[in-house]
Chain A
Amino acid sequence: MRPPKSERLLNLVILLLVARNYTTKEQIRALMEPYRVSTDEAFDRMFERDKDDLRALGIPLETGFVDKFFEDEQGYRIKRDAFELPSIDFTAEEVAVLGLAARVWRHAGLAAATSDALVKLKAAGLSFDREQLDQVQPTLAAEEPSFEAMWQATVHRTPVRFDYRRAGQREASTRHLEPWGVVTAQGRWYVAGLDTDRGEPRMFRLSRIVSEVTSTGNPGSFTVPEGTDLRALSQTLTPLQPDRTAVVLARAGAANGLRGRAEVLATDVTGPDGSGSWDRLEVPYGSGSDFTGELLGYADAVIVESPPELRASVRDRLAGLLAGAVR
């Protein structure tokens, strides 16, 4: 019976790992029976495939010359310090956090990658008990069909091509991208990178990709520019953390959307309409967010008292709307 391929691969790993120097292909063949008993051609094919398998497994297979002075014989080796997970001390708290992290992904491929990582940490001696931290468990889902391919392209820095349908357009167009990273905001996934057709950084919503994601180059064939700030690029996608407060008057019983996060400073306040049925609220908001728009949505149920620039912004946009309506 032919020995299973996994047996051959594991013996090859061990051989290259324990060898002190580079081992030539012929030496390897002499040491391993499955190679030895094969014809020259079969051995060549088998050896090439086995090298590919090892690399796919993340095993750092190096090539070099057996003799530094006579660069004639090429050999292979696996350097132990590049191969082995270094010994790292994780505290009990850190182990608990890693255990939680393993349950975050709601995506088959990424969940599998996380559990593979955890298996390696277990192999390094860590134990993950089902210990419960007093912590809300977030989840990351990715339903977009293009997610996995785009994720892999970012991790391995592989340029890609895909068909993209822009908002409000029926026709898709082919785009070329060096993907720098992915962003999730509000439950949607985006990819940011260099749009090589336009020579500019762009962001694409993965749900708008209507084709397969195809590699157009080799892994590692571009570098992400130094200082690329994905957070800045993705800023427009996410509501900003409140960094200031506004004081507004709200009609009693109205503006309930604001009241959820507002503090009531006073009730029965007399408003500019002369009625005393207003509440004065203090509302936190983010300077970059469209808080003006939110306030406009409450129409005449809310008046801004301060800050003056917010007050002006609401008034200007109301005036703009009416100017447009008259036009």
Chain B
Amino acid sequence: MSGGARGQVSRLLALVPYLQSRTDVSLAQVAADFGVRPEQIVQDLKVLWMCGLPGLTPDKMIEVDFEAIEDDPEGVVHIENAEFLARPVRLGSSEASALIVALRALSEGSPESTQEVIDRCLVKLEEAAATGTAMPRVEVHLPRSGTGERHAAVLQGAIANNQQVRLDYYVPTRDETTQRVVDPLELMTSDGHDYLDAWCHLAQGRRLFRLDRMYAVEVVDAPRHEHSLSPRDLSAGLFEPGPDDAVAVLHLERHARWVADYYPVDAVEELGDGRIAVTLRAGDPRWLVRLAMRLAPAVTLVEPPELRDEVTRTALAALDLYGRAAANP
């Protein structure tokens, strides 16, 4: 809640109906429900005690029972003579929007029965919002359908309990699913993907694993090996250029320009007609060949010659399968 006088008034406008709709609520509970310290609620009540109907003669003032809560967070908070403030203020457009978007996110990937409950909530919230509040135009496409979150929970548990985990992990560059045991170090997020930073027993090195490429995560009943590793710094992005990187020049057609946006490129050069040339590096040259195949013919791998030839060979081998199939239906 915002601070200062506005924050306090906003809280008071909720506090007065809150206390009138409950008969037996402790100061500690009020503070917890409002997300502030009990001392703050006492401060708020001291302001409230000076408020009331116009004229502010004693019979028009809101009454607060301070005795019950003096030095006792378990004391019951009780007010009287405030019937004119019986309901809270309607939801403001920012409040309604934030809640509605959260509900939509919740709805994605929920079972149908929960989706129905959420839909009913959304209709009711529209009623609760201030007049003139336009429903927020927000589209939520969550990256995953929950598997990532499930993995994250398991991994978080393993880190907390100092346990190793076994991963079934898909490596797109090599088109392989590998099984490996790792010492999980930390979960991190970068550019929309969740990663596990871990020491991999198979690779005998520190690796990052994308959670959405984990097919299975299983806790192993063995403590993690000890490593003296400093926390990973992702501020410069995930990709760490290495001396042995393969470097390629790709030509992108206009509608494939997003590649320059999506992957870390070293250089971009306009070729005219919306085409660009980009210099891209990768730890594994097979990744570059695969990228050129996936995006063909909007992307052409131009350099180095040995990778260009590799793309051609790969494409010929693949087309050959269709050729023979056509001749032999």
* 19 pairs, CB–CB < 8 Å, chain A vs chain B: A17-B84, A85-B89, A97-B103, A110-B101, A114-B95, A116-B10, A117-B96, A136-B146, A138-B108, A181-B137, A182-B138, A187-B192, A224-B134, A271-B321, A296-B293, A296-B294, A301-B175, A321-B296, A321-B300
The answer to whether the Cβ of B35 comes within 8 Å of any Cβ in the partner chain is yes
Report yes or no: A58 in contact with B149, Cβ–Cβ below 8 A: no
The answer to whether the Cβ of B317 comes within 8 Å of any Cβ in the partner chain is yes
Residues facing A in B297-328 (CB within 8 A) are 297, 300, 308, 311-312, 314-322, 324-325, 328
| Chain B residues near A118 (CB-CB < 8 A) | 99
Other-chain residue from A86, A104, A324 in contact with B102 (beta carbon distance below 8 A): A104
Q: 0/1 per residue, A15-28, Cβ < 8 Å to B?
A: 10111000000000
Report yes or no: B318 in contact with A260, Cβ–Cβ below 8 A: no
* Stretch of A67-75, A150-158, A194-202, A280-288 at the chain-chain interface: A150-158
Q: 0/1 per residue, A67-110, Cβ < 8 Å to B?
A: 00000000000000011111110110110011011101100001
Q: How far is the CB of A293 from chain B (nearest CB, A)?
A: 4
Report yes or no: A120 in contact with B91, Cβ–Cβ below 8 A: yes
Residues facing A in B233-264 (CB within 8 A) are 257-258, 260-261
Q: How far is the CB of B70 from chain A (nearest CB, A)?
A: 21
The answer to whether the Cβ of B41 comes within 8 Å of any Cβ in the partner chain is no
Q: Which residues of B contact A (CB under 8 A)?
A: 1-2, 5-6, 8-18, 21-22, 33-35, 47-48, 50-56, 84-99, 101-103, 105-106, 108-110, 114, 117-118, 120-121, 124, 127-128, 130-131, 134, 136-143, 146, 149-150, 170, 172, 175-177, 189, 191-193, 215, 257-258, 260-261, 265, 268, 276, 278, 290, 292-297, 300, 308, 311-312, 314-322, 324-325, 328
Known: A138-B109, A315-B322. A119 touches B261 (CB 8 A): no
Q: How far is the CB of B77 from chain A (nearest CB, A)?
A: 13
Report yes or no: A10 in contact with B315, Cβ–Cβ below 8 A: no
Rounded to whole angstroms, the CA-CA distance of A57 and B92 in the bound complex is: 8
| Chain A residues near B15 (CB-CB < 8 A) | 123
| Chain B residues near A214 (CB-CB < 8 A) | none
Report yes or no: A168 in contact with B278, Cβ–Cβ below 8 A: yes
Report yes or no: B315 in contact with A293, Cβ–Cβ below 8 A: no
Report yes or no: B315 in contact with A299, Cβ–Cβ below 8 A: yes
Rounded to whole angstroms, the CA-CA distance of A231 and B138 in the bound complex is: 9
Known: A13-B13, A237-B141. A133 touches B114 (CB 8 A): yes
Q: Which B-chain residue is minimally distant from A316 (CB atoms)?
A: B297
| Chain A residues near B1 (CB-CB < 8 A) | 112, 115-116, 119
Other contacts beyond A104-B106, A115-B1, A117-B95: 16, CB < 8 A: A4-B8, A31-B54, A58-B92, A82-B90, A101-B105, A113-B94, A114-B99, A119-B88, A124-B17, A124-B21, A167-B261, A187-B191, A296-B318, A300-B317, A321-B293, A325-B312
Rounded to whole angstroms, the CA-CA distance of A132 and B66 in the bound complex is: 36
Report yes or no: B141 in contact with A86, Cβ–Cβ below 8 A: no
| Chain B residues near A87 (CB-CB < 8 A) | 87
Q: How many residue pairs between the two chains, A and B, have CB atoms under 8 Å in the bound complex?
A: 352
Give the one of B12, B51, B108 with max A CB within 10 A: B51
| Chain A residues near B55 (CB-CB < 8 A) | 31
- 10 smallest beta-carbon distances between A and B, as pairs: A187-B192, A181-B137, A167-B261, A58-B92, A320-B297, A321-B296, A168-B260, A123-B88, A113-B98, A104-B102
Q: Which B-chain residue is minimally distant from A96 (CB atoms)?
A: B117
Report yes or no: B257 in contact with A100, Cβ–Cβ below 8 A: no
| Chain A residues near B21 (CB-CB < 8 A) | 123-125
Q: Which A-chain residue is minimally distant from B103 (CB atoms)?
A: A101
Report yes or no: B137 in contact with A299, Cβ–Cβ below 8 A: no
Q: How far is the CB of B168 from chain A (nearest CB, A)?
A: 10
The answer to whether the Cβ of A60 comes within 8 Å of any Cβ in the partner chain is yes
Rounded to whole angstroms, the CA-CA distance of A255 and B174 in the bound complex is: 10
Rounded to whole angstroms, the CA-CA distance of A85 and B236 in the bound complex is: 47
